[in-house]
Amino acid sequence: MNKVQVIGTGSYVPSKVVSNDDLSRMVDTSDEWISSRTGIKERRISEGEDTSEMASKAAMKAIESAGIKPEDIDLIILGTATPDNFIPSTACIVQSNIKAMNAMCFDISAACSGFVYGLDIATQFIRTGSCKTALVIGAETLSKIINWEDRNTCVLFGDGAAAAILQTSDVEGILAICRGADGSKGKALVSSAIPVKNPYVSKEMLDKQVDATVKMDGREIFKFAVKVIIQEVEKLLADAKCSLDDIKYIVPHQANSRIIDSAAKKLGVSEEKFYLDLDKFGNTSAATIGIALDDMVQNNLLEHGDKILLIGFGGGLTYGGLIIEW
């Protein structure tokens, strides 16, 4: 089996900052409610850029930080719940934008677990020798599927993209991986696609209007998230034969600081161990973990040999995580 390392990261968020006060002028909410219930202070919202544009910008930054050329990339995996189109995949659009013409490209639909699922899949391709250099992206334009009149959801989400480059290496950088899903809880977070409409369906089906905006049972996901963080962190530590003391940072999916507080208490670990930047960006679904990772790199928080634990959860419901040695 080949060894794998993360050799570069990049991220991109739109310049438009939308504060909690801005939202309180649109729906019946307040900075006090949003800050205390979620930890979110502001988020970035696209003024027209679609997922592929943000993803391409994050990808170019990751390529630069890794010191490779776009043509070195032989695999592009893009996690998103908000692709530009059904066809072509957003990964293919990115490939064309960044001129990575030697790559196999595909999108994955794993909602907020998209980035960690992508890292997992890329690791398997590299370990088996099928690929040498992979670009993994998590990118979302959630603002296009949000109901801007629904205070239960519109205050939570933001737009953005993050990327990482993985490559074969002499030393192992991926120490443990966990993954899973519980499709029986899928209705807790839904954004509907096009219904079946053709000359053979009933009139009722032809007349059916679909609302694609996000509908969420926040409490159900909250419980699921706390459960999987605890369960999977313990599993990852056991697989990597290390303890929480060996982990410099836990980088969780950034959905709600109260989820992290609750998980931290149950794990018996300080909240300081969790790296959070959701006050600045809100929940960018597949992009949150990658944006946080790149934020840490930009702020020189990671040194060679540091161990970090990534843990994602979200729609599907899905979850996944990795322990990475930097």
Residue of the chain from 17, 33, 242, 246 that contacts ligand UT7 (CB under 6 A): 33
Compute the distance between CA of residue 58 and CA of residue 163 in angstroms, rounded to an integer: 6
Q: Does 255 bind ligand UT7 (CB under 6 A)?
A: yes
In the complex, the smallest distance separating the C-beta of residue 129 from ligand UT7, rounded to whole angstroms, is 34
Q: For the chain, how big is the Rg over CA atoms in Å?
A: 19
Stretch of residues binding ligand UT7 (CB under 6 A), selected from 32-40, 94-102, 193-201, 299-307? 32-40
Lookup result for tokens 């089906």: 205
Compute the distance between CA of residue 69 and CA of residue 241 in angstroms, rounded to an integer: 35
Compute the distance between CA of residue 106 and CA of residue 6 in angstroms, rounded to an integer: 20
Q: Does 218 bind ligand UT7 (CB under 6 A)?
A: yes
In the complex, the smallest distance separating the C-beta of residue 33 from ligand UT7, rounded to whole angstroms, is 4
Of 131, 178, 256, 283, catalytic: 283
Helix (H, G, I), strand (E, B) or coil at 319: strand
In the complex, the smallest distance separating the C-beta of residue 285 from ligand UT7, rounded to whole angstroms, is 6
The upper half-sphere exposure of residue 170, i.e. CA atoms within 13 Å in the direction of its Cβ, equals 0
In terms of CB distance, is 74 or 150 closer to ligand UT7?
Answer: 150
Compute the distance between CA of residue 154 and CA of residue 120 in angstroms, rounded to an integer: 30
**283 an active-site residue?**
yes
In terms of CB distance, is 83 or 158 closer to ligand UT7?
Answer: 158
Residue type, 56: S
Lookup result for tokens 């997992």: 120
Q: Does 189 bind ligand UT7 (CB under 6 A)?
A: yes
Compute the distance between CA of residue 313 and CA of residue 216 in angstroms, rounded to an integer: 14
Q: Does 221 bind ligand UT7 (CB under 6 A)?
A: yes
Of 92, 105, 112, 154, catalytic: 112
In the complex, the smallest distance separating the C-beta of residue 286 from ligand UT7, rounded to whole angstroms, is 9
In the complex, the smallest distance separating the C-beta of residue 244 from ligand UT7, rounded to whole angstroms, is 23
Whether the CB-CB separation of 127 and 2 falls below 8 Å is answered with yes
Where helices occur in 195-271 by DSSP H, the ranges are: 203-207, 218-239, 257-267
**304 an active-site residue?**
no
Helix (H, G, I), strand (E, B) or coil at 323: strand
Residue of the chain from 43, 44, 61, 151 that contacts ligand UT7 (CB under 6 A): 151
Residue of the chain from 222, 227, 230, 267 that contacts ligand UT7 (CB under 6 A): 222
Binding site for ligand UT7 (CB under 6 A): 29, 33-34, 37-38, 112, 151-152, 155, 189, 218-219, 221-222, 225, 255-256, 283, 285, 314
